[in-house]
Amino acid sequence: MSLASPLAAVATQVIGALSNQASEAFKRQQVQNVAITTRANIGNRTPARSVPSAVFHSVAFRVASIPIARKWKTVFPTVAAADFSHCAQQSGCAARDILGKAVENAENLAFRHKISGINRTVNRLIRYQPDAENYGSKDYWATPDEILGRGKGDCEDYAILKMAALKAAGLPSEAMAIVVLRDVKRNFYHAVLAITTSQGHFILDNLSDEVKLDSALPNYQPLFSVSADRSWIHGVKSAGDKVASTAPMLDVMPGEGIALR
């Protein structure tokens, strides 16, 4: 079954809901079309510009409230304030020390080396384990301290820890986003860290130590994303119109099973 069919069905649902004003919750979202951009100079490069499309060539609609945003609101302050230079916990100190040294080393590296080093370090530092086994919850968004303390996590935990480490190494939070997506080739939900620059969107993935541009990952279809205090729903252009893919996709749980067709 093609991906276009479910997206077309979703688009019809969304447009109908808007025209009929049937959903008060959806109206309150005050959807706006945005692209994830950075206002900072990353690694002595020119500041990022607005790009023709959002990550993975999608269209991004900013929204005020979706389940993932509520979880992110609790986690993001710990990401922004993460300090890997010392350990005040009873567990995870060895992992924190390794990551702290990687962050210190990354501070003086060029952009590509910086993000590649952190991506590789985090991928090797923690062990993959689904939230249901790790926390007894199907979709638990952990803080950097919790991830390091347990030494394991699922795909969004890798992305969270990478964002925290790169923030500590000097990258602006606004340039980074955690993207929840569907891998249409392997048919499961997943999460990655995306970094937006004037050269494009760089993807840090726990499935690969190699940092790639989003254009090299055509099997990734973004559903929604969070960055700093913002969240988006992603969709595709259809017949000249920009349509967000919403509805049942709002409750997907990355790393927790096979996607529904």
pLDDT category at 74 given cuts 50, 70, 90 is very high
Measured CA to CA in angstroms, residue 1 lies from 25, 85, 182, 235, 250 at distances of 31, 50, 15, 18, 21
8 Å CB contact between 228 and 58: no
Tell me the average pLDDT of the chain: 79
**Maximal C-alpha separation, the chain:** 56
Q: What is the per-residue pLDDT across 126-170, written as a single tens digit (0 to 9) for each?
A: 999 999 999 999 889 999 999 999 999 999 999 999 999 999 999
Q: What is the pTM of this model?
A: 0.77
Residue 124 is which amino acid?
R
Q: Which of 186, 156, 138, 130 is nearest to 76 (CA)?
A: 156
| C-alpha to C-alpha distance for 18 and 11, rounded to whole angstroms | 11
Q: What is the per-residue pLDDT across 4-13, written as a single tens digit (0 to 9) for each?
A: 444 444 444 4
Measured CA to CA in angstroms, residue 115 lies from 46, 99, 103 at distances of 17, 13, 10
Q: What is the per-residue pLDDT across 166-196, written as a single tens digit (0 to 9) for each?
A: 999 999 999 999 999 999 999 999 999 999 9
Q: Which of 239, 230, 174 is nearest to 30 (CA)?
A: 230
pLDDT of residue 167: 98
| C-alpha to C-alpha distance for 174 and 171, rounded to whole angstroms | 9
Q: Which of 78, 86, 126 is nearest to 103 (CA)?
A: 86
Higher pLDDT, 33 or 67: 67
Other residues' Cβ atoms within 10 Å of the Cβ of residue 146: 20
pLDDT of residue 241: 59
Give the Cα-Cα-Cα angle 43, 46, 50 (nearest 5 degrees).
120
pLDDT of residue 97: 94
Measured CA to CA in angstroms, residue 94 lies from 70, 90, 149 at distances of 31, 10, 9
Task: Using DSSP bridges, classify how beta strands 220-227 and 200-205 pair: parallel, antiparallel or unpaired.
Answer: unpaired
pLDDT of residue 160: 98
For 34, counting Cβ atoms within 10 Å of its Cβ (0-12 exposed, 13-18 middle, 19+ buried), the class is middle
pLDDT of residue 64: 83
CATH match of 4-251 with 3.40.190.10 = no
Q: Which two tokens stand for residue 228?
A: 């700093």
pLDDT of residue 255: 64
Residue extents of the structural domains in the chain: 4-251
pLDDT of residue 236: 80
Higher pLDDT, 27 or 109: 109
Is the pLDDT at 41 greater than 60, yes or no? no
Q: What is the per-residue pLDDT across 191-217, written as a single tens digit (0 to 9) for each?
A: 999 999 999 999 999 999 999 999 999
| C-alpha to C-alpha distance for 79 and 145, rounded to whole angstroms | 9
Dihedral (CA of 164, 193, 166, 42) sign: negative
pLDDT of residue 66: 83
Other residues' Cβ atoms within 10 Å of the Cβ of residue 5: 10
Is the pLDDT at 222 greater than 90, yes or no? yes
